[in-house]
Amino acid sequence: MPASIREEVDHFLDTAVMHDIGTRLVCPSCGSAHVAQVLGDNGGISYVCTACGHSWS
């Protein structure tokens, strides 16, 4: 993942914490809150941890 995208995700997550926006997801593998929502192969929603790379749906 390019550093600029990772920085944007990190900034978004930090802003969400400062403003207490919604419920944060955590990675079931490493426990990180650095989780991005992505479209899955079948059109569903999947998640990927930007800290460890683990993905799930």
pLDDT digit string, tens, across residues 5-17 = 777 777 666 655 5
Please give the DSSP secondary-structure letter assigned to residue 11. Answer: H
As a whole-number percent, the residues of the chain with pLDDT over 70 amount to: 72
Segment 36-47 mean pLDDT:
85
Confidence of residue 21 (pLDDT cuts 50, 70, 90): very low
How many domains in the chain?
A: 1
Structural domain span for residue 35 = 3-56
pTM for the full model?
A: 0.55
Q: Which helix (H) or strand (E) covers residue 35, if one does?
A: strand 35-39
Residues 51 and 28: beta-carbon distance below 8 Å: no
pLDDT value at position 52? 95
Cα–Cα distance between 43 and 40 in angstroms, integer?
5
36's CB contacts (< 8 A; 6+ apart) are 9, 47, 48, 49, 50
